[in-house]
Amino acid sequence: MNNENHILTTTSNVSKKVTPRSISDVVLKLNEEVGELSTEIGIKKGYIQNKTPGKDGITGEAIDAILCLIDIIYLDNPNLTPEEFDTIVNNKLNKSFCEKLVLFNS
């Protein structure tokens, strides 16, 4: 993958232009996005019947949360390279994620 198109690179480029903020500020925004994601899931599952789905739906709200998480990574480690990011992701997928899937399926 071309590093210019890597999600870490594109998100970091936007993060550099955003008004100064702290990790705590972004975590508060993340909580808001997770709440919106929960609402969309509740609507889709039929648990929330007095609302209609938003235009972005579950996918859009999940992406909003992912972008907040990547912004937190950028704020914590602005020099992280796409290669380092991918290594960490792959290590997590190979270990932690698989372990969590086993727990969910138990």
Segment 28-67, tens digit of pLDDT:
999 999 999 999 999 999 999 999 999 999 999 999 999 9
**pLDDT tier, 102 (very low <50, low <70, confident <90, very high otherwise):** low
Instruction: List the alpha helices (DSSP H) in the chain.
Output: 7-15, 23-45, 57-76, 82-92, 98-104
N residues, the chain: 106
Say yes or no to pLDDT of 83 above 80.
yes
Range of weakest confidence among 14-18, 38-42, 54-58, 99-103: 99-103
Exposure on the CB side of residue 97, measured as CA atoms within 13 A: 7
Q: DSSP class of residue 20? A: P
